[in-house]
Amino acid sequence: MIDYDGRRFRNPDSDDGVVARYHQRGDLVWASFAGGKVRRGALNGLCDADGVLHLAYTMVLHGGDIVSGFTRSEPEPSDGGPLRLREEWERYGPNASSGISYLEEIR
């Protein structure tokens, strides 16, 4: 199992300033994030034996919108570089959508 405790991640394809700091105790994982359009965000979920994260998320945007959803984040192999996560996400509510994005560890 990958230990996510204390790791920080960002989207390498965006300059929005959003940074997430992860915490872990056993298989329980949580994170908080902020920056750019996000006033405050939170993730809560579980890490399986292969390091795959199954997380619910919520965030409050500067414009007043409240967003929630689910993401499955799978670590991708790397050759000594930063840990990269492939996120398959789904957003709920009036602006429901889904997609794939990537996060990269900040070292």
Around 63, how many Cα atoms within 13 Å sit in the side-chain half-sphere? 4
* Residue 79 to residue 33: CA distance in whole angstroms: 27
Cβ–Cβ contacts within 10 Å for residue 51, how many? 15
Inside any domain, residue 59: yes
pLDDT at 106 over 90: yes
- The domain that holds 35 is classified in CATH as 2.40.128.30
Inside any domain, residue 2: no
Task: Print the domain residue range for 64.
Answer: 7-105
Per-residue pLDDT tens digits for 10-37:
999 888 889 999 999 999 999 999 999 9
How far apart, in Å, are the Cα atoms of 103 and each of 8, 25, 35?
Answer: 10, 21, 15
- Residue 105: pLDDT band by 50, 70, 90 thresholds? very high
Task: Identify which of 55, 52, 54, 45 has the alpha carbon closest to the alpha carbon of residue 25.
Answer: 45
What's the rounded mean pLDDT across residues 61-82? Answer: 92
What's the rounded mean pLDDT across residues 83-103? Answer: 95
How many domains is the chain built from? 1
- Residue 88: pLDDT band by 50, 70, 90 thresholds? very high
